[in-house]
Amino acid sequence: MPSNPFMVVGREFKPEDEASLRETLKRCSASTLEAACQFRRTGNVEHLPAIIFGVIERYVESNLRPKLKEASADLRLAEDLGIDSLTMMEIVMQVEEALQITINNQELRALRTLGEVRQFMENKLADLPTAAPEAAKMAS
Element counts in the chain: helices (H) and strands (E): 9, 0
Measured distance CA(126)–CA(128) in Å, rounded:
5
Measured distance CA(107)–CA(132) in Å, rounded:
9
Strand partners for 113: 76
pLDDT tens for the 140 residues of the chain, in order: 344 444 443 468 889 999 999 999 999 999 999 999 999 998 888 898 899 889 999 999 999 988 888 878 899 999 999 999 899 889 989 998 998 888 887 878 888 998 898 888 888 887 777 764 454 444 44
Question: Domains in the chain, start-ordered, CATH in brackets?
Answer: 15-135 (1.10.1200)
**Burial label, 91 (beta-carbon count in 10 A; 0-12, 13-18, 19+):** buried
Measured distance CA(60)–CA(128) in Å, rounded:
29
Whole-prediction pTM:
0.79
Is the Cβ–Cβ distance between 88 and 117 less than 8 Å? Answer: no
